[in-house]
Amino acid sequence: MREDNAILFSLIKLILVILIGFFIANFLAFLAVLPFVNYDLELISKLIDNPAHFPETRTALMVMQGVASLGIFVLTPFIYIRFVDKTLPFSELFEKKSFSMLGFLLPLTVLLAVVEMPLVAWLGEWNNGWAFPEVFESWARAQEEKMKELTIFLTNFRSFEQFLLGFVVIAILPGIGEELLFRGILQNKLKQLSGNPHFAIWLSAIIFSAIHFQFYGFAPRMLLGAVFGYLYHWSGNLTYAMVAHFVNNGFTILMMYLYQQQQVEIDIDKEQVPIDMALLSLALSGVLMFLFYKIVYGKRLENSLRKP
């Protein structure tokens, strides 16, 4: 009972640290964007509300988002692990034994992240048709449209430099930071509290999806969170979850940029996914996850048998 209370207390500390980190990170993001708008405070509020009306501020908004993401999802979890809750050292998040399997698991992880995309896209289309209570639905639709407009604005890259900045902010930082927070810390804490890794994986995935406040993309984001969670749970190494998250975001951003540059004909943001392609994606994703699982536990069994 005392151990459960200690875990609950550590979760409360985590929430408090995240809230503090959220406010500090957003304040620093606000300071970082000031030089881009000639220290015009009124312009900042206007461009946040109506970014499309200020196309020249695209870089400023991306910098603001990048600083906020770095503070909330990378630095805050690091500070929590390093200084607040020392019961979860970094060595436990990146199990050294799993690094010996990089040659097997890393290509498999990258392939899985690409193969599951049609399934995720189909789930997004299905999720978009969900019906909610009227009061909530009006708010959720408005929130979804606002985020969609912001995403379209930020990913309308006018130069290669803007693409690189967007790649860092949208692919690299979330791949590292969100996995560190949701899988590395939250999933571990929920596993300790419940004693059930599957409960911890799915609850972390639900929280991961809900925290984005985009409920018409809830199902695909939850599925992705669960996939990342199982990659971490099976391997004991956050590297694979981070790589899968990075590839999922990075591939999408890259395809959007190539379409804008007329290098590919597929507009990945508007492409409709037929049910047969989604089912094939589901089947192949299942096979790849099974292979991932078998390689991890096969290697562990092999290593245990080699011990005297």
Residue 3 is classified by DSSP as: H
pLDDT confidence of residue 19 = 94
Residue 242 confidence (pLDDT): 97
What parts of the chain have a pLDDT lower than 50? 1, 305
pLDDT tens profile 131-145: 888 889 999 898 888
pLDDT tens string 96-155: 766 666 778 999 999 999 999 999 999 999 999 998 888 899 998 988 888 888 888 889
Percent residues over pLDDT 90 in the chain: 57
- What is the C-alpha separation between 48 and 34, in angstroms, rounded? 13
- What pLDDT score was predicted for residue 1? 47
pLDDT at 301: 53
Residue 166's pLDDT is 94
With both helix axes pointing from N to C terminus, report the angle between 218-235 and 117-127 in degrees, rounded to the nearest 10.
140
Distance CA 111, CA 288 (A): 8
Q: Which of 224, 241, 223 is nearest to 232 (CA)?
A: 241
- CB-based contacts of 193: which residues, under 8 Å, 6+ apart? 4, 7, 8, 11, 200
Angle at 115 between CA 145 and CA 106, to 5 degrees: 115
Could you tell me the pTM of the whole model?
0.92
Q: Provide the pLDDT for residue 103.
A: 75
Q: Do the Cβ atoms of 213 and 123 come closer than 8 Å?
A: no
CA atoms within 13 A on the CB side of 1: 0
The pLDDT, as a whole number, for residue 209 is: 95
